[in-house]
Structure 1
């Protein structure tokens, strides 16, 4: 179909109200970002930090024992520009039907995940800090404490990654897995709305949670 096809007034009358309602919903302003949340190819990014900070906050609401969150650069589809943040912007960031998943992982599995992050030049995380040297993870800390290989940890992510998406096998065979119906984008919107309710902008910063050491 193209401009040479005449508009059908009957069809227009049916879908126009729905189109206007959808546009109104997508244009709803839910928050504000004082900085441009960029992705880039660096080990740590503003967009990645925002995404995983939101994921961790929402994961803790479901299970207060959740200690860290993880995503991938490829899973975050776009950036958020400085200024008002709308529902539509969040849909653009996460257009997929991915839902929250909480995994209980051994210390060894966390180490495997950290090495995946290192090998791929850094990925979005929250609740964990690490350094990368020669594509290997080192100085891994959770809640300010060194990674203990004898302990288990709870991580919040989403079903696509838990199922091995993005060539990720570090999350295979968790000690325990719990899937939840809430979509990732719903969690992002809730997080932003709560900031706005508390009269706070999206105050995301680069804090050195993932560093590449020469």
Structure 2
């Protein structure tokens, strides 16, 4: 009986030319609920979370090394002690991994000035310090570049006029920001030679306008975060005391 009624109803709708109405979303309305001190926490949830929070806080505050002074990314026009430290740390921690996998050494490191998000304060250095310096999830990649692209890399640095951290590269500019000297691993750049440049995945994908990483001969993903490289480096070093040097300078 029910099937017969349904059949009659369908035929009636078809006969009448009726069509199901289409509904369209016209607008969405809502209101902002401010998070203030008036919102009380749930004691049961707080009690559940507390052991995990305490464990994380304890881990973050574990002391790894000692910083001899306070270092900032703004203490130099072209190279800074903090930037030098971070680029050198990436080289020292990533090169053994890369060499073990490929039998090849990293030729140089290039990071970005904006990627340094904190000072390195004098005193105890902890895991929390590494998270403050590098809160992003950027990972280390090694890009195989021909000398022609390596020249584009140094040209970019000469125009950028910022203290982008580098390691194993010496770049000297004249008073007009022209390149007076550019050496990778103490050798002149040769156009046909392949250079293995360590950087982060953000820059590899064109961040900060660094388009010279593509195309390339090959790219190696280490699955190794820069922050983890810093933590490993802190663990290996008793005292952190980086210096400004002549790796990237402008002549007077």
Q: One fold, TM greater than 0.5?
A: yes
TM-score by length of 1: 0.93
Contact 2:81-2:242 at 8 Å conserved across structures: yes
Contact 1:107-1:153 at 8 Å conserved across structures: yes
CA distance in 2, matches of 1:77, 1:90: 10
Deviation at 1:135, TM superposition (A): 3.1
Q: Please name the residue that 1:166 is paired with.
A: 208
CA distance in 2, matches of 1:26, 1:164: 32
Q: Please name the residue that 1:127 is paired with.
A: 168
Contact 1:102-1:179 at 8 Å conserved across structures: yes
Deviation at 1:139, TM superposition (A): 0.6
Q: CA RMSD in A?
A: 1.4
Q: Please name the residue that 2:96 is paired with.
A: 61
Deviation at 1:66, TM superposition (A): 0.7
Deviates more, 1:136-145 or 1:25-34: 136-145
2:51 to 10, 17, 21: 17
The alignment covers a number of residue pairs equal to: 210
Deviation at 1:203, TM superposition (A): 2.8
Contact 1:59-1:102 at 8 Å conserved across structures: no
Higher helix share: 2
Q: Please name the residue that 1:50 is paired with.
A: 85
Classify the secondary structure of the residue corresponding to 2:211.
Answer: coil
Q: Please name the residue that 1:138 is paired with.
A: 180
Classify the secondary structure of the residue corresponding to 2:117.
Answer: coil
Once the two structures are superposed, residues 96-115 of structure 1 have per-residue CA deviations (whole angstroms, 9 ceiling, x without a partner) of 11111001111111111111
Matches within 5 A, 1:161-200: 161-196=203-238
Could you tell me which runs of 5 or more consecutive residues in structure 1 were left unpaired when the two chains were aligned. none
1:28 to 24, 40, 62: 62
Deviates more, 1:97-106 or 1:166-175: 166-175
CA distance in 1, matches of 2:142, 2:152: 17
- Rg bigger for which structure? 2
TM-score by length of 2: 0.79
Once the two structures are superposed, residues 138-193 of structure 1 have per-residue CA deviations (whole angstroms, 9 ceiling, x without a partner) of 31112222222231111111111111111211212121101121111001111111
Once the two structures are superposed, residues 11-42 of structure 1 have per-residue CA deviations (whole angstroms, 9 ceiling, x without a partner) of 11111112111111111111111122211161
Contact 2:71-2:120 at 8 Å conserved across structures: yes
The runs of at least 4 consecutive aligned structure 1 residues that moved more than 3 Å come to none
Classify the secondary structure of the residue corresponding to 1:69.
Answer: strand
CA distance in 1, matches of 2:241, 2:125: 13
Work out whether 1:99 is the aligned partner of 2:143.
no
